[in-house]
Structure 1
Amino acid sequence: MTTEMSFAQGYVQANSYIPYDQILLFGDSITQFSEYQGRGFAFSPQLQDDYVRKLDVLNRGFSGYTSSQGLNVLPQFFPPPYVAKVRMMHVPLDKYRENLKAIIQHPVVRRGGTKVVLLTPPPVNEYQLTAFDLSKGVTPLSRSANNTKLYADACREVGQSLNVAIADIWSAFMKEAGWVDGQPIAGSKNVPENSKLASLLVDGLHFTGDGYKVMYNEVLRAIRESYPDEAPEKQPVHFPPYQLAEDA
């Protein structure tokens, strides 16, 4: 939790009271549901606490959207530079490498000097997905562990080619699951079910609190490594601490 002591250590001066800069989280259902606290740890609220009185954290997750649909709505909600200078953008790859590049290079993103943190898609667990898909009347499986890895690899390659920060959620989850490169992909029905991977996913796709904690740690690692000045501990708070605040 943020402490009063940290507030008192540095703050934006009175003549600098301007709208807060922003962290914009953009993605699909994994982004949208990162607000939900009913499963324990929640990514978005924790990020909001880290940056309280420093930056505004906005959730623009659109459950069920593909990257094509996300690209279409992006200009409708992305803040113009005169409203806010957006510091970070959450762009998980959903479908097409070309769409991902288009989102990162979109004029509304580039014009504000946005610092992008690109999140790879996480792995899936086919064992859990079977029940989830059947409950929605979807057969065969909507996603496979092996195919998801291909998209994670492509996402990583796009980030490297465009020189943006990468939060490798796929690798972070697989590390938690004890998977080692070269082994059959954990989460595939071609191998026994991995209980640790299952503990990170509610339904084989969406995250438990433990899963969001892994995501949070990886995102903060990417910020501190690629944009150290944007780390929460480096941000001054807005407005003075109560000991120095003036009465009306």
Structure 2
Amino acid sequence: MALPWPQVVLFGDSLFQQAAEVKDGFSFEAALQQQVLRRYDVVNRGLSGYNTSQALKHIDQIFTKPTEGGPKIKYLFVLLGANDACVKMPTNQQHIPLDKYKENLTKIITHPLITAHNPKILLVTPPPIDEIHITKLDLAWGHQEATRKAKISATYSQAVRDVAAEHPGTVLIDLCKAIMDVAIAKTPGFEPKTGVALGDPESGLRGYLEHLLPDGLHMSGEAYRIFFDAVKGHIESWDEESREGYTLPDWQVAPKLED
């Protein structure tokens, strides 16, 4: 019978779909896989463009109940909301109201197909956005205004914090804060004010977000490194020479084949 290889599942939108790519010499997914190599499989279920309603609709096509010999989810990352936070407009249909977004997130992390695995759930806030740059791109693509607004997106990140706080045992990964903290630290002279962030037209300054969010939304390799640094301490790790936890034994102790 096949062994039930445990899984680390990345469930979300394009921010996870692109985590498989090598950007600026770094791949989030590969770095995570290296950390758990031979113990767990990292499974990418990033679905570009999806909001939480779409994710919920297809959840039973993504997750299955644990079975004898089948894979079991050890860790589940959930990163959704960048599309839910879109402005409702005729040229973009991704918007999900904030209350519905919170309801959807709750349904996802408490879904029977997920809780049956009893995974450690890591709920990730959507990263900040560079509305200044997004506005320029969206107008060029034919939208009448920016599809995403910095202040609106910030409320969706806060909603993730709220949902995590309401569910003991859920780990909050505040990617929004982690990226913005680095952006501020690397933007000389910028003094953050309440409700006015880098990338917000009210501040008039993109600052170092330009390097972390090249298209205003998706992350650069450096931003994915920030993400990895934020999560690696929440995932098991072993000394480089350790063989502890291998799903299959090291070759030196595995049964010998006859010559």
TM range (shorter): 0.7 to 0.9
Within the alignment, does 1:32 sit opposite 2:20 as a pair? no
Query: Greater CA deviation, 182-191 or 106-115?
Result: 182-191
Q: How many pairs does the alignment contain?
A: 226
Structure 1 position 74, deviation (Å): 1.1
Equivalence for 1:186: 198
- Aligned-pair identity (%): 33
Distance 1:128 1:246 in 2: 59
Equivalence for 1:201: 213
Structure 1 position 93, deviation (Å): 3.5
Distance 2:174 2:71 in 1: 27
Structure 1 position 84, deviation (Å): 2.0
Query: Greater CA deviation, 160-169 or 91-100?
Result: 91-100
Structure 1 position 38, deviation (Å): 4.1
Within the alignment, does 1:171 sit opposite 2:177 as a pair? yes
User: How far does the alpha carbon of each residue in 1:157-196 deviate from its partner, in whole angstroms, 9 at most, with x for none?
Assistant: 0011012101000010111012756362221011132321
> One-letter code of the match for 1:195?
G
Equivalence for 2:187: none
Alignment of 1:96-245 (within 5 A): 96-163=101-168, 164-178=170-184, 180=192, 182=194, 184-221=196-233, 223=234, 230-233=235-238, 236-245=245-254
Structure 1 position 44, deviation (Å): 0.7
TM-score under structure 1 normalisation?
0.84
Which residue, 57, 77, 95 being the options, matches 2:62?
Answer: 77
| Structure 1 portions without partners, runs of 5+ | 1-15, 224-229
8 A Cα contact 1:80 1:112, kept in partner: yes
* SS in structure 2 of the partner of residue 177 of structure 1: helix
8 A Cα contact 1:23 1:89, kept in partner: yes
Query: Greater CA deviation, 87-96 or 138-147?
Result: 87-96
8 A Cα contact 1:118 1:165, kept in partner: yes
| Structure 2 portions without partners, runs of 5+ | 85-100, 185-190
Shift in alpha-carbon separation, 1:215–1:181, aligned structure 2, 3 A: farther
Runs of 4+ with >3 A deviation: none
8 A Cα contact 1:24 1:60, kept in partner: yes
Structure 1 position 202, deviation (Å): 2.0
* SS in structure 2 of the partner of residue 134 of structure 1: helix
Structure 1 position 45, deviation (Å): 1.1
Distance 1:149 1:210 in 2: 21
| RMSD over aligned Cα atoms | 2.0
